[in-house]
Structures are given as C-alpha cells and as structure tokens.
Amino acid sequence: MPGTTDRETAAMRRAFELAGNGPRGLNPQVGAVLLAADGSLLAEGWHRGAGTPHAEVDALSRLPAGAARGATAVVSLEPCNHTGRTGPCAVALIEAGVARVLYSVSDPGDASAGGARRLREAGVEVVGGVLEADGRRLIEGWLTVQRLGRPHVTVKWAQSLDGRAAAADGTSQWITGAVARADVHRRRSAADAIVVGTGTLLTDDPALTARRPDGTLFDAQPMPVVLGQRAVPDDARVLGHPRPLLHRDGENLGGESPNGPSLMAELRGLGVQRVFVEGGPTIASAFLRAGLVDEVLAYIAPTLLGYGAAGDDRPALRSLGVETIADQRRLRVASVQPLGDDLLIVASPLPPTSPIEGDA
C-alpha cells in the first residue's frame, strides 16, 4: 500500500482485530498498535467503552515514560482532537513523542475531527486512509449514526428463484441450505438488534439468537425486537433469548411523532449501531418504503415454489409503493457470493434520482 510498509499494513489489520475487543454502543470500536522505529511491536490497545482511555492512550499506558518517542502509531480511526470524558488523543501522541501516525478512517465528528491536522502542525508525519474500506466496514454502524442520526439498517430475506418467501401453506423452513443459514447467523452476531414482525414470530417461532453451526450461541447476541400489535405468546422461543425482548407496534420506524420517539431514535438511545431486519415481508417492505435501509441481503435458493391460491402468493417483499416502472427501487450490487447451492446478493439502495444503467 502506498505510503506504508508491510509491517505497518499488518499492524493496521491487527488494530482492526483489537478494535473488536471493545464494546459496541454509542462509541466506535477502535484499536491501536505502537511500532518502534525498526518496525517491532511496542504496545497495543483498544477502547474499552465510554469514559475509558481511547485506544491510543490505552496503548501508550502500557509503556514506560519516553518509550514511545520516535515510534509509529497505527490507529483504526483518526485520533480525536477534543476533550470529552478523556483528553485529545492527538495531544497524547504529540506529548509522547510519536513521530509517525497512520490511521484508516477519518473522524466524521464536528467536535472530534481535526486530529490529523493537529498532529501535522506539531511536526508529526501522518498518513490517512490506510485500508480504509476495511476500516469503514468495522465501524459502519457508528459512521451511519454520525451521518444520518440513526443506526445502520440491513434488511435480509431468503427467497426461491421465483421470488417466493414461503410455500402456499406458509412454511418457509428451509428454503436455503446450511451454508447460507450459517452466514445469516454470523451476520446476526455482528448486529446490535434483530427485528422481525409478529407475523414471522407467530408463524416460525424464531429464537432470534445468533448460533454457530453446532447450535451453541455466539458470545455477542443481538437485542431481539418484535414489531406489531399482536401479543407475543407466553411460550414464544424469543422469550428465552439471553437479552430482554423489545416489543413495539412498529407504527413509527424513523419519523417524527408527538407520541414518543421513533423506533430508530429509541434504538440509537440504547446504543444500537447496527440493526438486522430479518422478517417477514411486511416488515422488510416497511423499512424499504421508509427509506431506512442501508444494505440488502437477498439469499436466493435454486428452487421454485410457484403461486399459491389467489392473493396468497407469499412474496419475499410486499408493496413498496411502486406503481410504474419509473418508480422502481434501484440497488447497487456490492457482491454476489455463492453459499453452498445458494447465492447471496449484497446490495445498497440508490437514491430515487439515480440514473438507470444504460438509459439514454
């Protein structure tokens, strides 16, 4: 990578790993690695939560005074430049005598940004944008909160090749195979909240936990959220989830309301950065109609279910408010991944005014 050595690039990957040790919540996960002038490891650190030392200071605290002079600091997020519960990390690095700083993602905050500039003004060599795509993926939920004021939302569904989410009798387990289902559970474990509607809850009785292929639970579990006015049965499996259930009517997903905060505002207040909307078609479509979706995961199985009785075709999605082809909801495909016999299409919604590829 231009501007970095192989050891520095490897140290950035290590910083990403260290960041994952920190809690998900209102603050970003950040990792830091300190390298000596010869590229050898001096210290590592990560942010352990609100009010605790930031990753750079955590790493510096593991060294005796003066040991970081002339060192290189490799950080997954631009060192901050403001005083909150802790002091500016840029100043801490300057005072420690660090000679070079590499970071992956620029800090988008109005108050906290500017650390790179402050470091340069103090004579520190600074290189930004190192493995930036990987760094942004690490904290995409937090970045969405900073940019849009709401959590990052992923909508997932599984469908047959002909676009059906269930057979005519409503059964849907399992359309996709074991490899695709394992991928879903891995992604669940990376989310802070998982959302389903009462229709899915009453039909499938999901546990809404993130499980490994052997059935054991991942250490990180998303908060279960059920939307709809129907009651949750006393024997519903979701009530055995390791985290308390949040049950809301789903009438206000993200807008302003005199009757209290929207779901997105409430989840943000609870420290949720990443929301995984798993079903069913009514809830997925509601998030898409509301313009609250940042990522779509469509798991497509090579199977055909056809139509059921009239009005009972069990589509993967319901109405999106598209009355004419000009109103179609365009997506930008990020990847198409084979998962066993199935395919996963990862895409993001385009703005309504985006031109269609090939239009004159």
Q: Is 290 assigned to a binding site? A: no
Q: Is 174 assigned to a binding site? A: yes
Q: Is 284 assigned to a binding site? A: yes
Q: Is 285 assigned to a binding site? A: yes
User: 334 by DSSP, 3-state: which?
Assistant: strand
Q: Is 319 assigned to a binding site? A: no
The token duo for 220 is 């990180």
Q: Exposed, middle or buried, 308 (CB in 10 Å: 0-12/13-18/19+)?
A: middle
Q: Is 267 assigned to a binding site? A: no
Give the separation between CA 185 and CA 222, rounded to whole angstroms. Answer: 10
Q: Is 204 assigned to a binding site? A: yes
Q: Is 208 assigned to a binding site? A: yes
Q: Is 185 assigned to a binding site? A: no
Look at the block and give the residue holding tokens 């079903």. Answer: 279
Residue partners of 60: CB distance under 8 A and separation at least 6: 34, 43, 45, 68, 92, 93, 96
Q: Is 217 assigned to a binding site? A: no
Give the separation between CA 141 and CA 147, rounded to whole angstroms. Answer: 10
Q: Is 286 assigned to a binding site? A: yes
Give the separation between CA 174 and CA 185, rounded to whole angstroms. Answer: 14
Q: Is 280 assigned to a binding site? A: yes
Q: Are the C-beta atoms of residues 238 and 208 closer than 8 Å to each other? A: yes
- Active site annotation includes 56: yes
Give the separation between CA 269 and CA 218, rounded to whole angstroms. Answer: 24
Catalytic residue among 8, 17, 44, 56: 56
Q: Any alpha helices (H) in the chain, and if so which ranges?
A: 6-19, 55-60, 89-96, 115-121, 132-138, 140-148, 178-189, 198-204, 263-269, 281-289
Q: Is 52 assigned to a binding site? A: no
Q: Is 181 assigned to a binding site? A: no
Query: Which residues belong to the active site?
Result: 56
List, as residue ranges, the binding site for substrate: 172, 188, 208, 211, 278
List, as residue ranges, the binding site for Zn(2+): 54, 80, 89
List, as residue ranges, the binding site for NADP(+): 158, 174, 200, 204, 280-286
List, as residue ranges, the binding site: 54, 80, 89, 158, 172, 174, 188, 200, 204, 208, 211, 278, 280-286
